[in-house]
Each structure stands twice: as C-alpha cells, then as structure tokens.
Amino acid sequence: MFDKIYIGNDHGGYTVKVLLLKYLEEKGVAAEDMGCESTKIVRYPYYAEKVAKNVIQNAGSGGILICSTGIGMSIIANKFKGIRASLCTDGYMAKMTRRHNNSNVLCLGGKITGEFEIYDTVENWLNSEYEGGRHDISLGLIKDMEERL
C-alpha cells in the first residue's frame, strides 16, 4: 500500500476524480488532489507532470491520473524517469501491473470505464504488492534504459 496518493485529472477525468477522492477518504487512504476543478477544457500534460514529480520526490507514494481515455496521461507520465505508469481498464490489469511491473502511477479513462469498474481497478491496484523475483530483471532493464536515454 502507498503512503499517499497524488491524483491528477483533466476535464475528461474530473467527474471520476471527485468520486475517487470520496472513495479513498472513506477507505482511509491519504490522497492529495492535484487536478483541475471542473469540466472546462484544460491540457492534461500539466497535471500528469505535477503528479509524476510528486511521486518521484516522495518515496512510498503513488499517483492516479485520469483523462477521458487514460492514454494521454499514461504517455506523458512515462516520460518521467522512475515513473511506471499503467493504463488499466479493469481490476485484473491493475493487480498484475502492481505485482509484475511495480507500477507507481495508475492511469484511468474517465469516459471509457464505468464507476464500479473504476473502484475495482483502484482497489486492486492499491492492495496488490510487487512480487519481485524474476520481475526484477525487467525492471532493471527499464532502469538501465532510463539511464542511457
């Protein structure tokens, strides 16, 4: 489990963010809202940058990014060294990306994934732990590539 979750969203993810903040509060999960405050059109890279930088700077933290599809947020978040952002559309994907990829940022599609599936996805992501072992090899390769780029 993460010590704190930073949540960022653009206009396409605003409604889901509001629901998730309430959901996380009810679950006792510390969360900080770093997203936009309405459905007025904004540019998602600014919010992805805020979340990614906070996840990098605060050991033990994680991030959740929400746009209409989750695609744009995942693209920009993965530009940051040390971020392993995963676009997930269901609970199984979320569980496996934590277990095998040690994902530290979950990307969600606010307009493509239903409310209950969002809750299941977040729940699985939050409550799954990295398995290590053979997966360390791949994460080591990712880290080496980040250093070379």
CA atoms of 89 and 129, how far apart (whole Å): 19
Active site residue 11: no
Active-site option among 36, 67, 88, 107: 67
**Can you state the angle between helices 91-101 and 115-126, rounded to 10 degrees?**
20
Active-site option among 11, 36, 88, 100: 100
CA atoms of 108 and 86, how far apart (whole Å): 9
| Residue 9: Cβ within 10 Å count | 29
Tell me the pairing of strands 31-33 and 105-109: unpaired
Active site residue 100: yes
Task: Give catalytic residue positions.
Answer: 67, 100
